[in-house]
Amino acid sequence: MEKRILGIDPGFAILGFGAINGQVSQQSLQSPPVNMLDFGVITTPKDMDMGQRLRVLYDDLHELIKEFQPDLVAIEKLFFYRMGNTILVAQARGVIMLVLAQHNVTYVEYTPAQIKQALTGYGNAEKLEVQEAVARELALSEIPTPDDAADALAVALTAWYQI
C-alpha cells in the first residue's frame, strides 16, 4: 500500500513544505524505502497586509493538498522565538489547521527535538546534521534549499518512521 506524507514547517513569511511517498509493508520491521515527490516554500510578501498574507497561505495550502493528496500531514510544533514572530506563526498554523480540516486530512505534530531524534538519533542535533540526514535518507545529491523546505522534509520523514 502506498502512503503519501506532506511535511509542513509553519511560517508566516515563509512556510516550508515537503512531500514524500513510499510503499508500506506490514511484513518488514524496518522503515520501508521512501521517495521525495517535491519540496518548496510558500512565501508572503512583507508589503502585503496580514489578512492578504494569510489568504495566500490558505489558497496555496489548498493547492498543495489537491496536488499531493496526502494520507497524512506532519507539522512541526510551534517553537517559541520572539513573541511577535510566535503570534504570526500561530496565526499561520490556524490557517493550516483550517485547510486540513476542510480536506479531512489527518495530521500529526512533532517538536523540533523529536524531529532531530528521529533523523539523527540525537534530540539536540545541529540543523546541518538534520539536513544531511534528509539528503541521505532521500538519496539526494545535495541538501534541499531553502532551510524551510529541508525542515518540512525532515518533519515528513519523522512521520514516515512512525509508520
Concatenated DSSP letters of 106-127: -EEEE-HHHHHHHHHS-TT--H
Q: What is the pLDDT of residue 77?
A: 92
Task: Give dist(CA 93, CA 75) in Å, integer.
Answer: 9
Q: How many CA atoms lie within 13 A of 58 on its CB side?
A: 12
Residue 131, C-alpha cell as written in the block: 539536513
Q: What is the pLDDT of residue 78?
A: 78
Give the active site residues: 9, 76, 148
DSSP category for residue 1 = -
Which position has the grid cell 512533532? 110
Q: What is the pLDDT along the chain (163 residues), one digit of tens a residue?
A: 899 999 999 999 999 999 999 988 766 556 668 999 999 999 999 999 999 999 999 999 999 999 999 999 999 997 665 556 788 888 999 999 999 999 999 999 999 999 999 999 999 999 999 999 999 999 999 999 999 999 999 999 999 999 8
Q: Are 108 and 72 in contact (CB under 8 A)?
A: yes
Task: Give dist(CA 37, CA 20) in Å, integer.
Answer: 5
| Cα Rg of the chain (Å, integer) | 15
Q: Residue 85: helix, strand or coil by DSSP?
A: helix
Residue 103, C-alpha cell as written in the block: 480536506
Q: Which domains does the chain have, with CATH numbers?
A: 2-161 (3.30.420.10)
